[in-house]
């Protein structure tokens, strides 16, 4: 039967784990700044950020690559996880904000006198971490239940998810919603009473994100190698056959959809303390489409592909936007066309084909 990973796979996994847990901290903190091997703080943050994106791409692969459901709204779940974390970080600022108030700055600015009801748990780290999972999970579950029960499929489903994230973005843009309007949350100082803007904290968050990604990868691998995972692929290839074989696709689609949303929420929560800001821009339709692009570029239904894709596209983005700022979008467009035309199985597919030949 299918194994979790082959010998090569385990070796690669151990190498990846060592890179994240040992190499990155060592090169950043252990090697002096003048050395050629020094990894700058900028690069540690960049890697941390891309690791968050890679979690989203992995989540996208489960729902799109394996189940054949293209979501163009995963940015919403990412942002919701980010906002749940952001609320806690805002409360951690304490009296150090610009207005020296108990309340977050934007509330003072809006003349609010007390925390709105949905901020009532925001002082508790544990509660907010539960919300990181519960809010995207619950929204995905309710939305998915009605969409899948009505047998909404293909492009219709994609468009609805796109509309959903767009609607949420408009909602979060409003000041009355209580999430800082179009500025969102920023100016974070501490997490768990430990200062955020230190080299040590930067490395800790990056390593934590890497560990979560590896954990999620193993979980995803266990899922797709199980019979459950094969039912998902069967739904992608011939959903009516699945129904007439006695499986109810609703339960399968709903469970993987919800899991995928939760993974994005966790990625968002890891992202916010590292980049120091969350605003409704994360819910823009373009942000969600980008997640799908990472998965497609890396190679769908391979798990590792989308992670590679996230690193490739975002790595290219950070280089291009410095070297040729005005050409980045042209490059992204060209990349997507090239992948669609010449690499239907993405970057990973290219290597697999090489290996076979």
Q: Using CB under 8 A as the criterion, which residues of the chain lie in contact with another protein when the complex forms?
A: 1, 223, 226-228, 230-231, 233-234, 236-238, 240-248, 251-252, 255, 301
Least distance from another protein to the Cβ atom of residue 302, Å: 12
* Closer residue to another protein (CB): 171 or 238: 238
Least distance from another protein to the Cβ atom of residue 234, Å: 4
Residues in the chain: 357
Least distance from another protein to the Cβ atom of residue 224, Å: 11
- Helix locations, 100-226, DSSP H: 105-109, 125-149, 154-173, 199-225
Least distance from another protein to the Cβ atom of residue 339, Å: 19
- For residue 51, give the nearest of 252, 209, 249, 253 by alpha carbon: 209
- For residue 254, give the nearest of 81, 121, 138, 87 by alpha carbon: 138
Structure tokens at 249: 């696709």
* Closer residue to another protein (CB): 120 or 245: 245
* Closer residue to another protein (CB): 45 or 226: 226
* Closer residue to another protein (CB): 91 or 253: 253
Query: From start to end of the chain, where are the E strands?
Result: 185-186, 190-191, 194-195, 277-278
Contact in structure between 313 and 346 (CB atoms under 8 Å): no
CA 168, 119, 209, 201 dihedral sign is: positive
Least distance from another protein to the Cβ atom of residue 241, Å: 4
* Closer residue to another protein (CB): 177 or 226: 226
Question: Phi and psi for 185 in degrees, rounded to 5?
Answer: -110, 140
CB atoms within 10 A of CB 351: 14
> Residue 278 forms beta bridges with which residues?
185
* Closer residue to another protein (CB): 91 or 221: 221
CB atoms within 10 A of CB 194: 12
* Closer residue to another protein (CB): 100 or 241: 241
> Residue 195 forms beta bridges with which residues?
190
* Closer residue to another protein (CB): 153 or 236: 236
Could you give the dihedral angle defined by the CA atoms of residues 286, 135, 84 and 200, in that order, rounded to the nearest 10 degrees? Answer: -90
Query: From start to end of 100-214, where are the E strands?
Result: 185-186, 190-191, 194-195
Least distance from another protein to the Cβ atom of residue 186, Å: 41
Least distance from another protein to the Cβ atom of residue 348, Å: 15
* Closer residue to another protein (CB): 84 or 295: 295
CB atoms within 10 A of CB 256: 24
Structure tokens at 351: 């290597």
Least distance from another protein to the Cβ atom of residue 242, Å: 8
Least distance from another protein to the Cβ atom of residue 145, Å: 14
């Amino acid at each position: 039967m299918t194994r979790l990973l082959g010998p090569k796979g385990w070796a690669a996994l151990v190498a990846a784990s060592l890179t994240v847990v040992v190499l990155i901290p060592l090169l950043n903190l252990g090697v002096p700044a003048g050395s050629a091997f020094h990894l700058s703080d900028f690069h540690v943050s960049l890697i941390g950020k891309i690791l968050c994106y890679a979690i989203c791409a992995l989540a996208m692969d489960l729902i799109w690559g394996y189940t054949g459901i293209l979501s163009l709204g995963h940015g919403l779940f990412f942002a919701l996880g980010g906002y749940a974390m952001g609320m806690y970080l805002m409360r951690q600022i304490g009296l150090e904000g610009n207005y020296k108030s108990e309340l977050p700055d934007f509330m003072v600015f809006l003349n609010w006198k007390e925390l709105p009801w949905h901020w009532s748990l925001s002082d508790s780290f544990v509660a907010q971490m539960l919300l990181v999972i519960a809010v995207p999970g619950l929204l995905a579950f309710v939305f998915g239940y009605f969409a899948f029960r009505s047998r909404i499929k293909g492009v219709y489903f994609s468009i609805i998810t796109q509309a959903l994230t767009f609607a949420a973005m408009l909602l979060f843009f409003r000041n009355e919603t209580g999430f800082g309007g179009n500025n969102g949350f920023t100016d974070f100082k501490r997490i768990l009473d430990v200062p955020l803007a230190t080299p040590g904290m930067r490395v800790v968050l990056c390593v934590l994100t890497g560990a979560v990604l590896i954990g999620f990868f193993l979980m995803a691998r266990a899922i797709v190698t199980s019979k459950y995972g094969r039912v998902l692929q069967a739904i992608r290839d011939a959903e009516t056959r699945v129904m007439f074989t006695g499986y109810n696709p609703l339960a399968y689609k709903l469970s993987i959809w919800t899991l995928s949303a939760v993974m994005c929420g966790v990625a968002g929560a890891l992202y916010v303390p590292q980049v120091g800001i969350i605003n409704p821009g994360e819910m823009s339709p373009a942000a969600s489409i980008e997640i799908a692009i990472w998965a497609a570029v890396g190679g769908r239904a391979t798990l590792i592909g989308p992670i590679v894709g996230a690193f490739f596209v975002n790595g290219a983005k950070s280089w291009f936007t410095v070297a040729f700022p005005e050409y980045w979008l042209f490059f992204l467009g060209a990349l997507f066309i090239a992948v669609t035309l010449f690499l239907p199985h993405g970057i990973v597919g290219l290597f697999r084909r090489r290996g076979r030949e």
